Chains A and B, each alone.
Chain A
Amino acid sequence: MKAIYFIIFLIICPFVSFSQMLDKRLDKYQNTIVDFLREQGEISNSEKSNYYTEFLISGEIGNLGPNTKVFRIGITSTHSKQYLGILNSKELKLFPTKNFDIEFDLIFEVLHSSKLRTSNENLLKCIKNIKSLYLTEQAKVPTVIN
C-alpha cells in the first residue's frame, strides 16, 4: 500500500507548485542571510528569523567554477534592495552593496582567495554583472518610505 502512495506522490509531484525562491546551495546560510538583512535595516525585529526565510530570494549572476558562485540575494518585500553574495567552498560573503568603489576591494579580495576555475571571459562577464547590480541597488536605501 505504501508503495502505491509513493508512486502517486511521484506522479503528482511535478504538478505541485513549490515555493523555493532561494538557490538550494544557499539553504544552509538562511539564518546568516536573515541576520545580515536585519543588520542592513531591511527587515524588522518584530518577527522571528524563521518568518523571513520563506521570503528569501536569489539569482545567480556568476559561475566562477565548481567552488565559487556569485549571487544577487534579498527578500521579496516591496521597497527592499538586493545584495551581492559570493559563495565559495568556505563561506558565504555578503556585501552591503552601497558603494562599488569602496566595496570592490573587498570583492576582489574574496574572489582572489577563492579557487576560481573559469575563463577570463566568464570572469569579466561576472564583474560586469556585479557592477550592474551596484548601479541598480547602491542608490537604494532599504528604509525608503513605502
Chain B
Amino acid sequence: MAKSEEGLKQLQALNDSSSKIDLKIDKIEMPNKWGVSNTTFDSKGTALKSDIIIYEANLKQFMTDVNVSGCTVTADLQAQEYVKASQNNDLDSMIAAVAGHESVHSTDDKNLKQRYENFKYNKNHHVEAEPERIETIILLQLNVH
C-alpha cells in the first residue's frame, strides 16, 4: 500500500482511526470475495472496531485465470488495471488496492454511518462509490511503475 500515494493515505487513515482496526491476509478460498471489512457498531452507529480481511487465494486465482485462460479486456477501467497487474504477476498491487477499498469502508465516517444505516434501518445508501474510486486510483498509481 505504501508504494502508492493513495495507498499511503489509506494506511495513515487506518493508523489515525479512533476505532481499532486489524488488517489481515487470509489464505483460505472464499468464493469470489476478494476482501471484506467486519465492523462492530455501538447503538448510535459509531464504529467500535473493524477487521479487514483480504482473501489472497481468490486474487491468485484471478491472476491464474488471466494468465492461463486469457481475458477479454472490458470497458471497465478498474477491471483493466486488475488484468494489467495480473499480467505483471503483481499480487502486491492487487492486495494493496483491495485493502485500500476496505480501508475506506472502515475509516471514512460517512461511509461507516451509511453502512450502519443500511444494515440497521434498511436504508439504501450507495456505499461502494468512494471505496471503488480509491481502489482504482491505487491500481493506476501502482501499475505505472
Mark A residues whose CB is within 8 Å of B.
Answer: 17-21, 41, 44-46, 52, 54-55, 57, 59, 61, 72, 74-80, 82, 132-133, 136, 143-146
Does B34 lie within 8 Å of A145, measured CB to CB? yes
Q: Which residues of B contact A45 (CB under 8 A)?
A: 28
Task: Select from chain A the residue with minimum beta-carbon distance to B55.
Answer: A44
Q: Which residues of B contact A17 (CB under 8 A)?
A: 42-44, 46, 48
Query: B34, B42, B119: which contacts A82 (Cβ < 8 A)?
Result: B119
Q: Which 9 A-B pairs have the closest CB atoms?
A: A17-B42, A46-B28, A143-B32, A19-B40, A143-B31, A78-B37, A44-B30, A55-B38, A77-B36
Pick from A57, A74, A78 the residue with the most CB of B within 10 Å.
A78
Q: For chain A, what secondary structure do more than half of its interface residues adopt (helix, strand, loop), or is it mixed?
A: loop
Task: Take A44-B26, A59-B119, A61-B122 as given contacts and tell me if A78 and B42 are in contact as well, using a CB distance cutoff of 8 Å.
Answer: no
Task: Take A17-B44, A146-B135 as given contacts and tell me if A76 and B38 are in contact as well, using a CB distance cutoff of 8 Å.
Answer: yes
Task: Select from chain B the residue with minimum beta-carbon distance to A72.
Answer: B122
Instruction: Give B37-59 interface residues, CB cut-off 8 Å to A.
Output: 37-44, 46, 48, 53, 55
A77 to B65, CA, bound (A): 27
A59 to B39, CA, bound (A): 16
Interface residues on B, range: 35 or more
A133 to B121, CA, bound (A): 11
Query: B40, B46, B132, B135: which contacts A76 (Cβ < 8 A)?
Result: B40
A9 to B122, CA, bound (A): 35
Interface-forming stretch among B3-11, B83-91, B97-105, B137-145? B97-105
Does B46 lie within 8 Å of A41, measured CB to CB? no
A21 to B53, CA, bound (A): 21
- Is B126 part of the contact surface with A, judged by Cβ < 8 Å? no
- Beyond known contacts A76-B116, A136-B124, A146-B34: 13 more, CB 8 A cutoff: A17-B48, A21-B120, A44-B53, A45-B28, A46-B26, A55-B40, A72-B122, A78-B102, A78-B127, A143-B32, A144-B32, A146-B33, A146-B132
Task: Select from chain A the residue with minimum beta-carbon distance to B119.
Answer: A57
Does B42 lie within 8 Å of A18, measured CB to CB? yes
Does A80 lie within 8 Å of B36, measured CB to CB? yes
Q: Which residues of A contact B41 (CB under 8 A)?
A: 19, 21, 57, 76
Does A76 lie within 8 Å of B39, measured CB to CB? yes
Pick from A18, A55, A136, A144 the residue with the most CB of B within 10 Å.
A55
